[in-house]
């Protein structure tokens, strides 16, 4: 059997869909000592092992049994693209067939290196992960939203996106801003965060992680009680409920006041600042009066506004505002005492700007491989 087929053997469970505790419990039923699960995790996360054979300190019989039961194979790369002189890299990863036999699901993940002192060595490497294939929220300005929802990713599929890059270099930061709505895939998102932050796993700093949500109030509340110190971004995009509903059709049941209250509670419980993301759309939500209205809505909480000039990926009816309009909006917010910045864009040439991953690039990449 070729390695490719072995990777897709549906009888084998992805090891990282189990928590460390669950793995330890399963190994205990095999008569293995308590430290085995940690030892295996160390091989996966520290040494980047992609098969059990590499775990030479483990007894051969155990390695064989692990290999019959679990898989730690990486997700195969369909295509890689680089931009910004290699500082931004996007990978399209093959998710393999689903248990019901559907193939062709793929997921995009992006790595961004920051080297402010320009010494050729990245001071910060951020990976942007996807949590779903497609997204059910239907945001009008989002290419993923326009594509519709296919399925949730499992914990191991989220972790695999980070491991894809962490095998090459140290990852310092992680943002959940790729395809999909992380809080609509809550269990996988939190399970992945646990592996990626625990010392036996990738050991990322919790403070280096940011989850971006379209604003699922119940999910924000749940996340605030996890005892995690991760950052939260709430995508707001409008200063009033009516416009917000137009831009995010599925947000009809949620008001901006509820989101501001959810943010306040998050800050109180987690001791972390909350960011409000605001995609700037020309003449839709970028008027100075709308900046002042936004400032009034969020005044009084420890929030930060991150303006994202619209990246025209979703359709012809929306436009990116001019630099002058972006600047004017920013200055209105700042004049009203709101801490605000404009998101620096990365990887625009490969349309891999985080959170703006587009479906036609995915198709084009796949075609390039087919040729």
Q: Can you state the angle between helices 155-166 and 36-45, rounded to 10 degrees?
A: 50
Asked if 126 contacts 114 with a C-beta cutoff of 8 angstroms, the reply is yes
Contact positions vs ligand SF4 (CB under 6 A): 135, 137-139, 142, 144-145, 180-181, 214
How many Å apart are CA 354 and CA 210, to the nearest integer?
A: 13
Closer of 209 and 214 to ligand SAH (Cβ) = 214
Asked whether position 188 contacts ligand SAH by CB under 6 A, the answer is no
Asked whether position 347 contacts ligand SAH by CB under 6 A, the answer is no
Closer of 139 and 270 to ligand SF4 (Cβ) = 139
CB of 264 to ligand SAH, least distance (A): 19
Closer of 55 and 153 to ligand SF4 (Cβ) = 153
Asked whether position 110 contacts ligand SAH by CB under 6 A, the answer is no
**Residues 6 or more apart in contact with residue 57 via CB below 8 angstroms:** 39
CB of 346 to ligand SAH, least distance (A): 12
Q: Which residue has the tokens 């961004």?
A: 112
Beta-bridge partner residues of 125? 113
Interface region with ligand SAH, contact rule CB under 6 A, candidates 2-10, 250-258, 266-274, 305-313: 305-313
CB of 257 to ligand SAH, least distance (A): 19
Closer of 209 and 308 to ligand SF4 (Cβ) = 308
User: Residue 314's binding partner, choosing from ligand SF4, ligand SAH, none, with beta-carbon cut-off 5 to 8 A by kind?
Assistant: ligand SAH
CB of 325 to ligand SAH, least distance (A): 15
Evaluate the CA torsion angle 167, 170, 176, 178 in order and state its sign: negative
What DSSP state is assigned to residue 73?
P
**Residues 6 or more apart in contact with residue 311 via CB below 8 angstroms:** 320, 345, 348, 351, 353, 356
How many Å apart are CA 46 and CA 198, to the nearest integer?
A: 12
Asked if 124 contacts 138 with a C-beta cutoff of 8 angstroms, the reply is no
Asked if 81 contacts 65 with a C-beta cutoff of 8 angstroms, the reply is no
User: Residue 189's binding partner, choosing from ligand SAH, ligand SF4, none, with beta-carbon cut-off 5 to 8 A by kind?
Assistant: none
How many Å apart are CA 147 and CA 154, to the nearest integer?
A: 20
Closer of 335 and 348 to ligand SAH (Cβ) = 348
- What residues act catalytically? 108, 354
What residue ranges bind ligand SAH (CB under 6 A)?
A: 141-142, 177, 181, 212-214, 235, 277, 279, 308, 310-311, 313-314, 355-356
């Amino acid at each position: 059997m070729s390695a490719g087929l072995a990777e897709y053997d549906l009888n084998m469970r992805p090891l990282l869909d189990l928590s460390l505790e669950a793995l330890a419990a399963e190994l205990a039923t095999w008569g293995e000592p308590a430290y085995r699960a940690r030892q295996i995790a160390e091989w996966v996360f520290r040494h980047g092992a992609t098969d059990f054979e590499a775990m030479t300190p483990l007894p051969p019989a155990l390695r064989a049994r692990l290999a019959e039961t679990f898989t730690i194979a990486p997700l195969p790369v369909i295509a890689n693209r680089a931009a910004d002189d290699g500082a931004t890299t996007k990978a399209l990863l093959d998710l393999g067939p689903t248990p019901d036999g559907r193939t062709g699901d793929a997921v995009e993940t992006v790595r961004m290196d920051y080297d402010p002192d320009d010494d050729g060595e990245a001071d910060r490497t951020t990976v942007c992960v996807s949590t779903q294939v497609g997204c059910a929220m239907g945001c009008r300005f989002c290419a993923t939203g326009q594509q519709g929802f296919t399925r949730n990713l499992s914990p191991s599929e989220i972790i695999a996106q980070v491991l894809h890059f962490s095998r090459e270099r140290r990852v310092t930061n992680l943002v959940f801003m790729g395809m999909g709505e992380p809080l609509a895939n809550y269990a996988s998102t939190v399970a992945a965060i646990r592996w990626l932050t625990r010392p036996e796993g990738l050991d990322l700093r919790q403070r280096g992680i940011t989850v971006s949500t379209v604003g699922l109030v119940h999910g924000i509340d749940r996340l605030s009680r996890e005892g995690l110190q991760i950052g939260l971004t709430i995508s707001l995009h409008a200063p009033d409920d009516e416009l917000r509903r137009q831009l995010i059709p599925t947000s009809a049941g949620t008001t901006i006041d509820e989101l501001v209250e959810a943010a306040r509670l998050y800050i109180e419980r987690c001791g972390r600042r909350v960011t409000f993301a605001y995609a700037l759309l020309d003449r839709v939500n970028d008027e100075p009066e709308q900046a002042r209205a936004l400032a009034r809505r969020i005044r009084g909480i420890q929030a930060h506004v991150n303006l994202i000039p619209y990246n025209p990926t979703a359709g012809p009816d929306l436009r990116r505002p001019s630099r002058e309009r972006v600047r004017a909006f920013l200055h209105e917010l700042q004049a009203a005492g709101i801490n605000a910045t404009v998101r620096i864009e990365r990887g625009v040439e490969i349309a891999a700007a985080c959170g703006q991953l587009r479906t036609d690039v995915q198709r084009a990449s796949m075609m390039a491989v087919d040729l």
